[in-house]
Amino acid sequence: MVNQKQAIRLTAEERYEQELATLSKVDIDNNKPQGWLLSPKSVRQFILGNESLGISRKFFGDDPLVDRAIVSLLGKQGLMLVGQPGTAKSMLSELLAAAISGDSNLTIQGTAGTNEDHIRYSWNYALLLAEGPTERALIGSPVYQGMLQGKIVRFEEITRCQPEIQDMLVSIMSEKQMMIPEMGSNSVIKAKPGFNIIGTANLQDRGVHEMSAALKRRFNFETVNPITDKDFEIELIQRQLSQELGDLKAQITVPIDVIELLVTTFQELRQGQTSGGAKLKTPDAVMSTAEAVNIAYASALDAHYLGNGTLTGEQIAKQLIGVVLKDNADDIKRIQFYMDNVVRERAKKSDIWRSFYQVSKTFWK
C-alpha cells in the first residue's frame, strides 16, 4: 500500500492533524455541540488561526462569514456556499468538515451524471441476489454514511445536478431520516447529532439547474466573495506559493514585485478597471485568487527548472496564456487591449513590467 503521507494531496484532517490534536487538548468548552469533535470556538480558531497555540490561518477573507457558517451548522439548516469560481468555497467546506467531524471525505461531486444512488444508497447485486436486501448488501452513499455516523456531508457543485436529484435532499434535510423500503416499511436510518450538509455552487452556473424554492429553504446561503484588498491578496499568494513549493522554496527566488504584478493584473482584469480608473472589459476566464496561485506556482517551477531560479515577469506572462486562452476568442481581444494600453505604458517605467510585456505581446498577436 502507498504511504498516504506521500500522496500528492492530503485531506484537511491529514494536513492539519497536529493542529486538530492541539485544539482538542485545550478544548474545554462545555458548550461543545453533541456530535462535534471541537467546540464552535475551536472550529473558528482552526480556520482563522490562533498564533498563541500555533494554529495557522487557513481561510483568508470574510471572518464574519466563517462565524455565520459555523452558526448555520449548529442549527437545523444546511449551509450553502455560493460565489464565483476560485473563491475557496470548497476549501472552506473541507475545513469545516475536518474540524467538526474529523472527516472531510463524505463528499458528493455534483455532475449531470449524479443519480439517486449517490444521494441515497445502492446495492451489491451479488449479495442482493444471494441474501436479499440486507444491511450487508446495501452500499450507503456519503449522505447515508453521514446520517449513520453523525458527520458533515459535502455536496460540491450542487447546481450541476438535475433538479429531481437535488430535490431528493428536501425530505432528508427536513426529517433527518432516510427510508429504505426494500428492507421493510419500518426500516429507517435516523440521522445522529452532528449530521448536516454543506453545499457549494458557482454563481456562473446559475440557470444551469436552478435550485427549487423548497430546497433553498433548507439551506442558509453565504456568498464567498473574491479578495479585493491588494496587499492582502499578495500576502495570501506568497503564503500559498510557499506551501505549494515545499522543499523547493529555498532554491527559488520570488521577488515581491513579481507577485505584485500578478495580483495587479488579476485584480484589474477581474474588476474591469485599472488602478488609475480606466475601464476594461473583463474576460470570461476565471481570474480568481486560486488561479493566481496556480500561475505563481507554475511560473516558479519554470524559473527553477528552465530558468535561472529567479521568478520574473517573463514566466508570469507565459503561464497567463493557459488561464485566458480557453474557449472564448473575445478574451484574446480583451487581453490584447490590456497589454497594448495598460501594460505597455507601465513597461516604459519598470523592468518587471517590461519583461512581462515583451513576452506577453507575442502571444496575443
Does 2 score more than 50 pLDDT?
A: no
- Of the given ranges (8-12, 220-224, 252-256, 307-311), which has the lowest mean pLDDT? 8-12
Q: What is the DSSP string of 128-197?
A: HHHH-S-TTTEEE-HHHHHHHHT-EEEEETGGGS-HHHHTHHHHHHHHSEEE-GGG-TT-EEEPPTT-EE
Q: Is the pLDDT of residue 202 over 90?
A: no
Provide the mean pLDDT of the chain: 90
329 — pLDDT class (breaks 50, 70, 90): confident
Q: Tell me, what DSSP letter sits at residue 342?
A: I
Full-model pTM: 0.88
Give 363's pLDDT tier (boundaries 50, 70, 90): low
**H or E element: which one contains 66?**
helix 63-74
pLDDT value at residue 1? 44
Whether domain 4-223 has CATH 3.40.50.300: the reply is yes
Q: How far is 365 from 363, CA to CA, in rounded Å?
A: 6
pLDDT bucket at 234, cuts 50 / 70 / 90: very high
Averaged pLDDT, 114-129: 94
Predicted confidence (pLDDT) per residue in 258-272, tens digit: 999 999 999 999 889
Name every residue whose Cβ is closer than 8 Å to that of residue 149 and which is 6 or more positions away in sequence.
101, 103, 192, 194, 195
Q: Which three cell numbers stand for residue 299?
A: 511560473
| Lowest-confidence segment of 41-45, 91-95, 194-198, 331-335 by average pLDDT | 331-335
Residue 339 has pLDDT above 50, yes or no: yes
Question: How far is CA 256 from its chain centroid?
Answer: 25
**Cβ atoms of 244 and 299 closer than 8 Å:** no
Measured in whole angstroms, the distance separating CA 112 from the mean position of its chain's CA atoms is 20
For the residues 100-113, what does the mean pLDDT come to? 95
Residue 7 pLDDT > 90, yes or no? no
Average pLDDT rounded to a whole number, residues 46-66: 92
**Does 119 have pLDDT greater than 70?**
yes
Point out which residues pair with 79 in neighbouring strands.
Answer: 198, 220
